[in-house]
Amino acid sequence: MKGIKTLYIVILSVCFLGAISCNSPTQISSDYAYLGFTTECLGVELDGSQTLRVFGKGKDKADAIEQAKKNAVRDVIFRGINAGSGECFQRPLINEVNAQEKYSYYFNPFFKDKGDYSAFVRLDEKRQSRIKAANNTQENWGVVVTVDRAGLQQKLINDGIIKQ
């Protein structure tokens, strides 16, 4: 009888510890669901890719994460990365003013859902930021992604958007 009680206590303890150790998103104030956050560089790889913490807004988690991936690629192309690790301060791939509007015939299809941009960005599941702000209409999620900057630059050169 004593052995069964001990086994029961051990099983309950393991279940309790397992339940409290699960990683859940860090919920921040719902006011932040309306704000835009700055893309932050976490590191640069030797192959020319950048690891970024980026935020996206959407009606649910999946939509917000997809938007965050688009934001990461858009920031690398048009804005450059100025926050985060010092090794990452990089100029945008396109230095023209209003380049996104000027080349809208190219970038509108490029950034559509499941568009060409998705070949150059990868969600890092192991290093998710797990920051979430939500209100009644939208969620704002922070995630960690890797952007293939060198591959993206080569595509823009091949497609005649930027010159070498």
Give me the pLDDT at residue 156, please.
Answer: 94
Task: Give the pLDDT score at 75.
Answer: 93
Please give the pLDDT value at position 44: 87
Question: d(Cα 142, Cα 48) in Å, to the nearest integer?
Answer: 23
The number of C-alpha atoms within 13 Å of 41 and in the hemisphere containing its C-beta is 23
Give dist(CA 40, CA 55) in Å, integer: 9
The answer to whether residue 77 scores a pLDDT higher than 90 is: yes
58 token code pair = 């959407």
Phi and psi (nearest 5°) for 39?
A: -70, 135
- The long-range contacts involving 33-36, CB below 8 angstroms and separated by at least 24 positions, are 33/57, 33/133, 33/134, 33/135, 33/138, 33/139, 33/140, 34/135, 34/138, 34/140, 35/133, 35/140
Q: List, for residues 21-58, the tens digit of each pLDDT value.
A: 444 444 444 444 344 578 888 888 888 888 999 998 88
Which of the pair, 22 or 101, is modelled with greater confidence?
A: 101
pLDDT of residue 5: 56
With a cut of 70, say whether residue 135 has pLDDT above it. Answer: no
Between the CA of residue 8 and those of 5, 13, 15, 17, 21, what are the distances in Å?
A: 5, 9, 11, 14, 20
Please report, rounded to a whole number, the percentage of residues in the chain having pLDDT higher than 70: 69
Q: What pLDDT sits at residue 158?
A: 94
Q: Is the pLDDT of residue 70 over 90?
A: yes
- Among residues 134, 153, 130, the alpha carbon closest in space to that of 142 is found at 130
What average pLDDT does range 60-66 have in this prediction? 88
Q: Is the pTM of this model over 0.75?
A: no
**DSSP annotation of 47:** T
